[in-house]
Amino acid sequence: MTVCEYKPGLEGIPAKQSSISFVDGHQGILEYRGIQIEELAKHGSFLETAYLLIWGTLPSQEELTDFEREIRYHRRLKYRIRDMMKCFPESGHPMDALQACAAALGLFYSRRALDDPAYIRAAVVRLLAKLPTMVAAFQLMRKGNDPVQPRDDLDYAANFLYMLNEREPDPLAARVFDVCLTLHAEHTINASTFSAMVTASTLTDPYAVVASAVGTLAGPLHGGANEEVITMLEEIGSVDNVVPYLDGCIAQKTKIMGFGHRVYKVKDPRATILQSLAEQLFEKFGADEYYDVALELERVVSDRLGHKGIYPNVDFYSGLVYRKLGIPTDLFTPIFAIARVAGWLAHWKEQLSENRIFRPTQIYTGTHGEPYIPIGERQNADDQDQLTGLITE
Ligand code: CMC
């Protein structure tokens, strides 16, 4: 076997063959099943896109109607899941709540028949249908309110905003939210999708697959960056403070949130669409105080760091869109998960069709033949005090 060069973060190493999505990071192209993201954002809906990703072709009208109907039917949560959520601390992060609830679905739907298309379909429908209800329910319950039941007369995006805000959304807000879901639905082998694939390759249940992916998406270098962008814009505070803030980041080698990407070396095409969605919302509902700061930051970062390929990624403008839709900042990443579950499920299904368990190798850097020292003869490690401090927290 040839010994491969070690690439930290597996940069540039193909982890699988896939026909689900494609990114050209130099030209700023993203396609789902060969269709450009701009086309899907303009003409499609999120559920149509989810169907395309998971089953490989755009649904006929009849197929889409059936799929939407099944999803409406499965939106409700079992009361035991709601009871479980009541025990979660209000201060807990909604991503942790979502991960726990996604995993809990495996307790209720424990039959595992990975070679049965009806089982696959039921799992897809349940996960797409129930994740939004979980996020909205946690939001209401942590404020001490009962969750709002889903409404069968509302489509996927409108129903989520209704469950969250307890009122029917404006049609533009619902349409913009639906496009946001489409934009976040899939993105080749990113960290959370890789996590989903590794979990799927053990032939565990799809709820464990999605739960592992939700946990991975939560980190600030991945989906969690959309929250950090808003914190950063608040910290910058004004257009005049953009240059001093950036100087500080560059001097301290701090990453600027919402910028940079392993694959894109130009502005992420999703960021361009999200920026235009934000502008549509500002036109109808009023401007966001931080939009000018964001524009100036994009200008200055592109100027200073563009030579390294550092441009806005999907997380840079999504937060400004969600803020205008009245969504609290710590729900931004759970919303990313509601959308990305379509991609995770597409990769789950693709993984099952040609499965081989993931079992990479390593380059061992440790020692060999060390003696076993009896416990009474061992010295404290130099950093023992530091470790103890961490553990007691
Ligand atoms: N701000 C300033 N410099 C940056 C940034 C940034 N946001 N991102 C990368 N760089 C620089 C980095 O300092 C390094 O410079 P040098 O070669 O001089 O040391 C170079 O660009 C390569 O950076 P890297 O960290 O090796 O790149 P990576 O491919 O490992 O990381 C990334 C990609 C997305 C984790 C990184 O760009 C980052 O941390 N960005 C900020 C967090 C963020 O916005 N994440 C969302 C990613 S997109 C959506 C998603 O995945 O959820």
pLDDT value at residue 224: 84
CA dist., res. 219 & res. 217, Å (int):
6
For 43, residues 6+ apart whose C-beta sits below 8 A from its C-beta are none
Does some domain include residue 8? Answer: no
233 shares its domain with 212:
no
Print the domain residue range for 280.
Answer: 225-322
211 shares its domain with 267:
no
Q: Is the CB of 340 under 6 A from ligand 1?
A: no
CA dist., res. 232 & res. 212, Å (int):
28
347 shares its domain with 235:
no
Q: Which of 37, 259, 274, 302 to mutate for ligand 1's pocket (most ligand atoms within 8 Å of CB)?
A: 259
Residues that are catalytic: 261, 315
How many distinct structural domains can be found in the chain?
A: 2
286 shares its domain with 345:
no
Q: Is the CB of 310 under 6 A from ligand 1?
A: yes
46 shares its domain with 194:
yes
Using one digit for the tens of pLDDT, what is the confidence trace for 20-78? 999 999 999 999 999 999 999 999 999 999 999 999 999 999 999 999 999 999 999 99
Does some domain include residue 17? Answer: no
CA dist., res. 132 & res. 154, Å (int):
13
171 shares its domain with 247:
no
Does some domain include residue 386? Answer: no
Q: Is the CB of 315 under 6 A from ligand 1?
A: yes
Q: What is the pTM of this model?
A: 0.93
pLDDT value at residue 393: 45
Does some domain include residue 239? Answer: yes
Based on DSSP, count helices (H) and strands (E) in the chain, helices before strands: 17, 3
Report, as ranges of residue numbers, the positions in the chain whose pLDDT lies below 70. Answer: 1-3, 383-393
Does some domain include residue 69? Answer: yes
CA dist., res. 282 & res. 291, Å (int):
9
256 shares its domain with 215:
no
